[in-house]
Structure 1
Amino acid sequence: MESKKSKKYPETTVGAYIFNNHGKLLLIRSRKWKDKYTVPGGHIELGENMFKALKREVKEETGLTIKNPKLFNVLECIYSKEFIKNKHFIFLEMSCKAKTTKIKIDNREAQSYVWIKPEEALKLNIDSYTIKSIKKYLKLKKDGFFK
């Protein structure tokens, strides 16, 4: 059961757009998003900065270690029917590089994963917020934001 506090304020979360050395993006298939593909991520704990939260969530969900996180998008998700619970989220979307490549998926968070070129990822069954962020990432990359 949700507390009154969680209903009173949006929940701020981080999303990790993790790229390997071949320029492929890691996507996970999640029951929380009704078996759609999404990116690893989760809540920022009280007193934790967003970059540490990103590294912690990625490690917990995938076993990966990441480097060079860069904030590139902020999205708001208000009571989306795509998510299994009635929640109001603020998503802080960050690109990063995988320092390690051995994945160990937390089955409570995801059922499977795929490394895929971002352009190709748009053809998969992905939640709409991840689609928006992938499109923004591709535009920013084209404009030279990511070096």
Structure 2
Amino acid sequence: MDRPLVCVGVLVWGPDGRVLLVRTTKWRGSWGVPGGKVEWGETLETATKREFVEETGLVLRDVRYAQTQEAVLPTEFHKPSHMLLIDFFARADTFEIAPNEEIEAWAWVELGEAHTYPLNSFTRTLVDLALAQGEA
């Protein structure tokens, strides 16, 4: 029997206050944030830090919970999937990205300008939350 996948995602602020957006192979050309599946025995924070290092090469600090979203068969995703998306905010001390094979492009942008990118709907919600909470 199939079950929902537990996944983490993280909106990260760099040293100058810009946030990292990425375009990956999994979201049909739309932009989002780094993240991925939680492994057996792994805490959400550990999974967030591991996925971020794997995808970008950057180490996170000040990881804090942002929100939880349901993604039930989203058409934006590259295959049929049911995911529980647990989102975080965090910081990184450098801009030097070492992308893995999933990341096609990346950009450090002002939070208020994130909506000028074609974001997937789940990242739009996360950016909206950061704006509403006055995150910086």
- What amino acid sits opposite 2:128 in the alignment? K
Q: Quote the offset at 1:21 in angstroms.
A: 1.7
CA distance in 1, matches of 2:93, 2:53: 11
Structure 1 or 2, whichever has the larger Rg, is 1
Query: Quick check: 1:114 aligned with 2:122?
Result: no
| Residue number in structure 2 paired with 1:129 | 122
TM-score, normalised to structure 2, is 0.95
Gaps of 5+ in 2: none
| Residue number in structure 2 paired with 1:57 | 51
1:71 alignment partner, one of 45, 55, 65: 65
Q: Does the 8 A contact of 1:62 with 1:103 survive in 2?
A: yes
CA distance in 1, matches of 2:91, 2:24: 21
Alignment of 1:28-43 (within 5 A): 28-43=22-37
Percent of residue pairs bearing the same amino acid type? 29
Q: Quote the offset at 1:110 in angstroms.
A: 1.0
- What amino acid sits opposite 1:69 in the alignment? V
Q: Quote the offset at 1:16 in angstroms.
A: 1.1
TM-score, normalised to structure 1, is 0.88
For residues 15-61 of structure 1, give each alpha carbon's deviation from its aligned partner in whole angstroms, at most 9, with x where no partner exists: 01110121111011112100111100001101000101011000000
Gaps of 5+ in 1: none
| Residue number in structure 1 paired with 2:132 | 139
Alignment of 1:75-94 (within 5 A): 75-94=69-88
Return the structure number with greater relative CO, CA threshold 8 A, min gap 6.
2
CA distance in 2, matches of 1:118, 1:101: 15
* Runs of 4+ that moved beyond 4 A: none
SS of aligned partner of 1:126: coil
